[in-house]
Chain A
Amino acid sequence: MAVDIPKSFEALPTSSPRHIGRGRRRVEDPALLTGRTQFVDDVELPRMLHCAILRSPFAHAKITEVDTREAESLPGVVAIVTGDDALRWSHPAQSSPEGWGTHCLATDAVRYVGEPVAAVAAVNRYVAEDAIELITVEYDPLDAVTDPVAAMAPDSTLVHAGQGTNVMMDRVFTWGEVDQAFEAADHVVSEKFRWNRMGANPTETFGCICEWDPLDLSLTIRGSIQSPSMFGLGRAATFALPSNKVNIISQPHGGSFGGKGGTRGTDVTCLLSRKADGRPVKWIEDRIEYLTAGGSQAWDRHYQASISVRQDGTVTGLRVGLIDDLGATGEAYGAICAAKPLAAFTGPYTIPVAEYDLKLVATNKVPSGPYRGMGPPPHFFVLEQLMDLAARRLGMDPAEFRRKNFIPNEAFPYTIPSGNEYDSGNYEEVLNQALALADYPALRSAQAEARQEGRLVGIGVASAIEPGVFDWNAYAIVGMPGTGVPEGATVSIDIMGFITVRVGFSLEGQGQYTLISQLVSDYFGTDPEMVRVVYLDTQSAPPSFGPGGSRLGVAITGAVLGACDRIRTKACRVVAALMQTEPENIVLHDGLFGIPGVPEAQMSVSDVAGTMLARSDLLPPDVDPRPEATHVWTAPGRTPADEEGRAKSYLTAAQAVHVVQVEIDRETGFVEIQRYCLADDCGTRLNPATVEGQTDGSVAQGIGAALLEEYSFDEDGQPQTTTFMDYLMPTVYEIPKVEKVAVVTPSPFTPLGAKGCGEGAIHTTPAAVLCAINDALAPIGQMAREVPAAPKRLWELIRAAGDTPEDGLI
């Protein structure tokens, strides 16, 4: 049966959409606002125990003995697990690159501060924490290696002695005649950059409740789990269980941004439940655990990058060398963040050839994981600084330099050197809108005046691509197998005409349940209040991946509209039989099935559903009598990656231009963001209020990345930022008013023309803020190469420049 998924609002079976494309109050909100939404720590189960984890105080040490006897005798303690249990009952974690995973509890050595060594299940968390203090562990400390460059040296301490090296991967990807481009160039601009570890820090940490069924040999896991089906497959592999014996129940969660982590803690908790004879065990990661060894540490990167440029301002080639410090294991899939830039390697530009020299290195730090944007944000920080350096070298305005190199409208769909195809865009218009919003000429003249006074005022104009709707093939170079990421929905109409939509992902904050109710109500001409969205666990849900890779809005739109279309087709046959005509003559429009232009030959959706459910005797014999259908949507036309990693991977390419004005306090190095303007194009806006909310939040995270957030370690691998007093996320004071304007270029490839937009502004914000900072520093001949641009770093630069204001470039 062919499924027809509308590619635009006009193609929906309604005269004019009343709900989709508008900002609506969210169906999720009343429960959240009154404290009724059940987050994982709000769930109580009978006979539930509570887990606390004993963690390594050393970045690298041998474990010679673990003694749990005293802890076992503490009243209230029910079970204790150590590395021995992990060896007995589980496998090392799967990892990327493959073969760099370890057991969830240290078996022979610890490789980072905070690595789990033992865990206790007790009657409550207080007693569990008392008990872990009674466990004694004997460590034999080893040298720690925390610098990935040092870790690559042949004589370096090894994080995993058995691997014989700390280099997890070392490959050069060449797309086109890069050497030639650089040789032929009029200018080559090269720089080193450093992006320090930072990450998601959702306000809710990770949490889970694990139940091991000792008779059925099955696992049930409730948790704040972003991608339940993947999470379930991972646990099945760890515990050597058939995949149909692991059921994942994803609770609503308090943000994720890719950085929820939690696989290791979940595995530990599963072991405890098994040891406690199947009693449910809850583990709620506390904030210090999260900051020390949780899922949010991402993007610990050393770059050496260059572009080749012709005198007329055409960029002819890009070379990026990246040493990515993945920490102690590959279990958290930080490697895919190094692969994802392939989906948008050359940004919004027509750079024809490129090279990626990629080294993934193990050190004695927490395994690095994903974070919103999954890797391109640092890549674009680098690319955009190079663009500014080149513009400055050529004496061109940075906005005009970018305009010159933008992919032109008529070139779409456009294939970039690293293989991905961009669907559509109108980059110049986005640039024009952003510059107009900011009144760019006025900003520049105010800047000129400020410079006269010796003030460090800078303007950044940056542009980036947000790849949307991910596919696994994007990460083929780091060993992720396969192509295709499904999202399914089951739509059912009941006998009263009320509609239930069943999906496999839980609430996370992006308002997808609201989106679903908008789609379905416009499709069937009902009120959104008549639509209910229900979450199903992995053993009942249609195939689903859930949010991630800026995909869910597009994918669930495809799934829901596909299911609606399947119901429509079925219903048309039913109505045709009742009206004694052919199905082709029946049309759904504004909530009525019938023969166009014949008012007496019309049936409401609920009448059709009622007839199907109650009068199967009237239906054509081969029609399934349920007014219900499931559709599973996957991005069409994805191709397997070739040897050089090239594939059609992400389906959509959203684009943005940000214009930022900053002033740096010459004496203190503090940055004030004085103006923040942006224009962006993410195709059709299914719910503009939601898109705006995603943009606002993503700008804030980008500002945090650019100026504040950093996980620091000392030379011995001791983390220095283990509380919210030291890991600094922006508050309301640090976020400027963000002025926004939208450009809409629908995607030709997606349901309703929407593009992925969930990760959004963080692709552009750090680049733009750093461009502005470097524009401010240019007159004193300095450049910020390190993110975050913390005041201590800028102060050093200003000091190095000396105190005389007018001595530098420009």
Chain B
Amino acid sequence: MALCSIQVNVNGTNYQSVVEPRLSLADFLRHELGLTGTHVGCEHGVCGICNVLVDGRSVRACLLLAVQVDGQSVETVEGLAEGEKLHPIQQAFMDEQGLQCGFCTPGFIMSLKELLDCNPSPSEDEIKDVLGGSICRCTGYAGILRAVQSAVAKMGGGQPSSAD
């Protein structure tokens, strides 16, 4: 099968790569670029553990092909912290025990980043809508919900609004 040449910007760095068309974006990030912070939990779109941002929108990296992001920009969990300084969402997860094993965490964080980038003071419904797209088996979501509240407060969104 014909290989495809692609150019992708990941976390601000341009990569040029030659890939099989069937290579998933998740496998491309993890095994071609070595960006193993994006995890894979089901490879059929349900668990949300592989969420990354493509052109600012959170999507399932297991349901996209690497060839499809040719010319686009991808953000992964590795791109969030500035040096030693955690991104406010990461810091909030740390402060509020929003993680246990941490396997699901990058997927949650990336989707929340999209939400808070677009909408600094989301309603509780909007927060749940986003969290509802991912599964965490360890925390029962309590710590994650606290972390979101804390991140919203930290990022200047103030109190979560009641409705939109």
A and B touch in the complex (CB under 8 A): yes
Taking beta carbons and an 8 Å cutoff, which residues of A are in contact with B?
23, 25-26, 28-30, 32-39, 41-42, 44, 124, 126, 200-205, 252-255, 257, 286-288, 507-511, 689-690, 692-693, 696-701, 723-725, 729, 731-733, 735, 737-738
Are A255 and B100 touching (Cβ within 8 A)?
yes
Does B55 belong to the interface (CB within 8 Å)? no
Q: Among the listed stretches B2-10, B65-73, B74-82, B149-157, which one makes contact with chain A, having 4 or more residues with CB under 8 Å of it?
A: B74-82
Q: Which residue of B lies closest to A35 (CB)?
A: B37
Complex alpha-carbon distance, A732 and B124, angstroms: 12
Complex alpha-carbon distance, A81 and B137, angstroms: 34
Contact A732/B132 with A30-B86, A723-B46, A724-B44 known, Cβ cut-off 8 Å: yes
Does B64 belong to the interface (CB within 8 Å)? no
B-chain residues with CB within 8 Å of residue A201 when the two chains form the complex = 137
Does B116 belong to the interface (CB within 8 Å)? no
Contact A37/B102 with A729-B135, A732-B128, A732-B144 known, Cβ cut-off 8 Å: yes
Complex alpha-carbon distance, A253 and B101, angstroms: 7
Contact A34/B99 with A25-B94, A203-B104, A732-B132 known, Cβ cut-off 8 Å: no
B-chain residues with CB within 8 Å of residue A690 when the two chains form the complex = 97
Whole-angstrom distance between the Cβ of A589 and the nearest chain B Cβ = 32
Complex alpha-carbon distance, A287 and B49, angstroms: 12
Q: Which residue of B lies closest to A23 (CB)?
A: B97
A-chain residues with CB within 8 Å of residue B76 when the two chains form the complex = 35
Are B137 and A257 touching (Cβ within 8 A)?
yes
Contact with A along B133-146 (1 / 0, CB 8 A): 01111111111110
Q: Which residue of B lies closest to A37 (CB)?
A: B102
Contact A34/B97 with A698-B140, A729-B137 known, Cβ cut-off 8 Å: no
Complex alpha-carbon distance, A126 and B21, angstroms: 12
Are B101 and A508 touching (Cβ within 8 A)?
yes
B-chain residues with CB within 8 Å of residue A693 when the two chains form the complex = 97, 100, 138-139, 142-143
The 27 sampled A-B contact pairs (Cβ below 8 Å) are A23-B97, A25-B94, A29-B94, A32-B101, A33-B93, A34-B80, A34-B81, A34-B86, A35-B38, A38-B36, A41-B30, A42-B30, A42-B36, A126-B20, A201-B137, A202-B137, A203-B136, A205-B41, A253-B103, A254-B41, A254-B101, A507-B101, A509-B138, A511-B100, A690-B97, A698-B140, A723-B42
Are B145 and A732 touching (Cβ within 8 A)?
yes
Complex alpha-carbon distance, A41 and B39, angstroms: 9
Are B102 and A254 touching (Cβ within 8 A)?
yes
Whole-angstrom distance between the Cβ of B60 and the nearest chain A Cβ = 12
Does B51 belong to the interface (CB within 8 Å)? no
Complex alpha-carbon distance, A203 and B135, angstroms: 8
B-chain residues with CB within 8 Å of residue A204 when the two chains form the complex = 39, 41, 101, 103
A-chain residues with CB within 8 Å of residue B95 when the two chains form the complex = 25
Contact A697/B140 with A25-B94, A204-B101 known, Cβ cut-off 8 Å: yes
Q: Kindly state the interface size class of chain B when it binds its partner.
A: 35 or more
Contact with A along B95-116 (1 / 0, CB 8 A): 1010111111110010000000
Are B140 and A696 touching (Cβ within 8 A)?
yes
Complex alpha-carbon distance, A33 and B94, angstroms: 8
Does B43 belong to the interface (CB within 8 Å)? yes
Are B142 and A696 touching (Cβ within 8 A)?
yes
Does B54 belong to the interface (CB within 8 Å)? no
Are B138 and A255 touching (Cβ within 8 A)?
yes
A-chain residues with CB within 8 Å of residue B90 when the two chains form the complex = 33-34
Complex alpha-carbon distance, A509 and B140, angstroms: 13
Complex alpha-carbon distance, A738 and B142, angstroms: 8
Are B140 and A724 touching (Cβ within 8 A)?
no
**Total cross-chain contacts (CB, 8 A):** 168
Whole-angstrom distance between the Cβ of A180 and the nearest chain B Cβ = 44
In the complex, which of the residues B93, B99, B142, B144 has the most CB atoms of chain A within 10 Å of its own CB atom? B142
Are A203 and B47 touching (Cβ within 8 A)?
yes
Q: Which of B34, B38, B78, B104 contacts A34 (CB under 8 A)?
A: B78
Q: Which residue of A lies closest to B40 (CB)?
A: A41
Complex alpha-carbon distance, A205 and B135, angstroms: 14
Are A255 and B103 touching (Cβ within 8 A)?
yes
Q: Which residue of A lies closest to B84 (CB)?
A: A30
Does B59 belong to the interface (CB within 8 Å)? no
Are A725 and B46 touching (Cβ within 8 A)?
yes
A-chain residues with CB within 8 Å of residue B106 when the two chains form the complex = 35
Q: Which of B44, B103, B128 contacts A723 (CB under 8 A)?
A: B44
Complex alpha-carbon distance, A42 and B30, angstroms: 8
A-chain residues with CB within 8 Å of residue B31 when the two chains form the complex = 44, 124
Known: A33-B86, A254-B39, A724-B46. 16 other contacts (CB 8 A): A34-B78, A35-B77, A35-B106, A41-B36, A42-B30, A126-B22, A203-B39, A253-B101, A255-B103, A287-B41, A509-B101, A509-B102, A698-B140, A699-B140, A700-B139, A701-B137
Contact A286/B43 with A41-B36, A203-B104, A732-B144 known, Cβ cut-off 8 Å: yes
In the complex, which of the residues B23, B39, B81 has the most CB atoms of chain A within 10 Å of its own CB atom? B39
9 closest A-B pairs (Cβ-Cβ)?
A: A35-B37, A254-B103, A32-B102, A509-B101, A700-B140, A509-B100, A724-B46, A696-B140, A42-B36
Q: Which of A37, A689, A697 contacts B138 (CB under 8 A)?
A: A697
Are B42 and A724 touching (Cβ within 8 A)?
yes
Whole-angstrom distance between the Cβ of A198 and the nearest chain B Cβ = 13
Are A35 and B100 touching (Cβ within 8 A)?
no
A-chain residues with CB within 8 Å of residue B102 when the two chains form the complex = 28-29, 32-33, 37, 254, 509
B-chain residues with CB within 8 Å of residue A699 when the two chains form the complex = 140
Complex alpha-carbon distance, A29 and B99, angstroms: 8
Complex alpha-carbon distance, A733 and B140, angstroms: 10
A-chain residues with CB within 8 Å of residue B105 when the two chains form the complex = 32-33
Are A696 and B143 touching (Cβ within 8 A)?
yes
Whole-angstrom distance between the Cβ of A259 and the nearest chain B Cβ = 10
A-chain residues with CB within 8 Å of residue B49 when the two chains form the complex = 203
Complex alpha-carbon distance, A692 and B134, angstroms: 22
Are B137 and A733 touching (Cβ within 8 A)?
no
Are B141 and A735 touching (Cβ within 8 A)?
yes
Complex alpha-carbon distance, A735 and B136, angstroms: 12
Complex alpha-carbon distance, A575 and B145, angstroms: 51
A-chain residues with CB within 8 Å of residue B78 when the two chains form the complex = 34-35
